[in-house]
Amino acid sequence: MKEKELRRSLAVLPIGTVMKLTDLSARQIRYYEEQALITPERNAGNRRMFSLNDIDRLLEIKDFLADGINMAGIKEIYARQKQRAEQKQADLAKPLTDRDVRRILHDEFLNLGGLQSDKGPNYPAR
DNA sequence: TTTCTCACA
DNA sequence: TGTGAGAA
């Protein structure tokens, strides 16, 4: 029953609503789109129409930023997320060994640390 | 009225 | 990222 997923992907929200829902400025929302972090549809009059999935995505991005991760980092996270999705398919045929899993988790931690932005506007001087 | 794109003292 | 201009 993936009826819900379809509805969540229906782009029906104008940027104004998204601004209120995510507490982000139109500027930021458009910028994130430029960075390919979100891909809202376009409707009549070239207006952006967002879906519930976009909202979740935006909120997620907000959290990442709050954790001190920068655009590049977030892009990587989604890039890896995509890779994982693709890897998952391959893994279906060839399951990972315990040793592989450990190595992957190890890398994950190291990389997450590298994604922390080196003191930016997200690091209050307090 | 709302949103879009573009450009910057 | 903010902000203002000019158009739709």
Mean pLDDT of chain A: 84
Amino acid at A71: M
Per-residue pLDDT tens digits for A29-82: 999 999 999 999 999 889 999 999 999 999 999 999 988 898 888 988 888 888
Residue A121 has pLDDT above 60, yes or no: no
The gap between A122 CA and B1 C1' (Å) is 34
Residues contacting residue A111 through CB under 8 Å, at least 6 positions apart = A76
In this structure, of A36-40, A96-100, A103-107, A115-119, the range with the lowest mean pLDDT score is A115-119
Residue A123's pLDDT band (cuts 50, 70, 90): very low
Mean of the pLDDT values across residues A6-35?
A: 94
Q: Which domains does chain A have, with CATH numbers?
A: 1-66 (1.10.1660.10), 68-126 (no CATH)
Chain B: positions less than 7 Å from a protein CB are: 2-5
Residue A92 has pLDDT above 60, yes or no: yes
* Dist CA A65 CA A59 (whole Å): 10
Amino acid at A79: A
The gap between A70 CA and B4 C1' (Å) is 26
